[in-house]
Amino acid sequence: MKDMPMSELKRKKRAIILFNLGGPDGPDAVKPFLFNLFNDPAIISLPNPFRYFLAKLISSRRAPIAREIYDHIGGKSPLLELTQDQADALETELNGLDDGFENRCFIAMRYWKPFADDSAAAVKAWGADEQILLPLYPQFSTTTSGSSVKDWKRACQKVGLNAPIKTACCYPTNPGFVEASAEMVKVGYENALKKSAKLGVGKPRLLFSAHGVPKAVITKRGDPYQSQIEKSAQAVVDKMAIADLDWLVCYQSRVGPMEWIGPSTEHEIERAGKDGVPLVIVPIAFVTEHSETLVELDIEYREIADKLKIPVYERVRTVCSHPRFISGLVEVVSETQQALDRNGPDDYAVETRGWWCPDEHSCAIAKQPMGPGQA
């Protein structure tokens, strides 16, 4: 028995839960998707019923604008299909390892289908022995990964799923993520460099653009998102090893009157226009294409760049299912499994964490806003 390979023994069933934001699957889904987004206490931290009515108001007002945005990309978000590609690739890689696990990847979107309730029921029906929670957000935020993990625990309680869980809270400098990003950024930079040389202009400036959050999320919750974005960008720059590289981090997608972290991507594009420098835009916080990349970066910000006569505007694609990124996720799963085996599972109580965290435990101590049942 001792000499038998793992493949000939009964494998433990391990569910890998991939979290992402979700996106509307058609025009009729835009308004309810927006309502779900703004009704999340991690996004708008007002108690109910105030949050509910404000979410109703905002989603009603923004739905026509959002539908126009999605009209540019076929009327729906491509996020689910791209996430399914990642899930398939990761599952194949994991099941190719002779490590005693039968792996199956499940997708749980936060604000549109498939919701956590349905995915948790599917995990229970499959008979998972253990669960690894894997947000497709390399950098942790209470507004993204924290909200998804909390919602998953709620869903597990609802459907009676009690298989042990361990959370991979973040992986901002994971080698696979960094290598895939650096490879793609270098290609984009070299393309921009060639175009710049033909036009007789200077070297390009790299803008690592991430989705912004209100400043209060960082200052009041102890959210590590901004620091982890900066760590990711620095790791990619270090990996590229290009001398005298002109680069900086900026933040996009601001909405509402609150003060947001900065500088804003739009401001940095305007500054590049004044400086007359070519631009390479790198979506450092997104690992799949969706409206913020395909519309905001590719169309809206490009129009600004054209008006400012910026000589070159090059947008780097997201890592999606890049083999090195998928290998990086395999490593994240392995590290999280080791933490599960060494330290035991996370507490199922919605308000507790006890996570293993590779970033000095910063994710585990960030303050998560109250959930729907407590508002």
Task: Check pLDDT > 50 for residue 1.
Answer: no
The predicted-structure confidence for 173-196, as pLDDT tens digits, reads as follows 999 999 999 999 999 999 999 999
Task: Check pLDDT > 90 for residue 248.
Answer: yes
Q: Six-digit token pair at 185?
A: 């950024």
Q: Residue range 327-345: average pLDDT? A: 95
- Contacts (Cβ under 8 Å, ≥6 apart) of 219: none
- Contacts (Cβ under 8 Å, ≥6 apart) of 369: 41, 42, 45, 142, 221
- How far from chain centre, in Å, is Cα 61? 26
> Across the strands, what pairs with 18?
107, 134
Q: Six-digit token pair at 122?
A: 């599917």
Domains of the chain (ranges; CATH) run 9-172+323-367 (3.40.50.1400), 175-315 (3.40.50.1400)
Q: Six-digit token pair at 147?
A: 């909200």
Task: Check pLDDT > 70 for residue 374.
Answer: no
211 is an annotated ligand-binding site residue: yes
Q: Residue range 344-348: average pLDDT? A: 89
The band of 357, judged by pLDDT with boundaries at 50, 70 and 90, is confident
172 DSSP 8-state letter: T
Q: Which of 21-35, 232-246, 285-299, 361-375 has the lowest mean pLDDT?
A: 361-375
C-alpha to C-alpha distance for 259 and 254, rounded to whole angstroms: 9
Q: What is the pLDDT of residue 375?
A: 40
Q: Which residue has the higher pLDDT, 313 or 365?
A: 313
The band of 6, judged by pLDDT with boundaries at 50, 70 and 90, is low
Task: Check pLDDT > 60 for residue 156.
Answer: yes
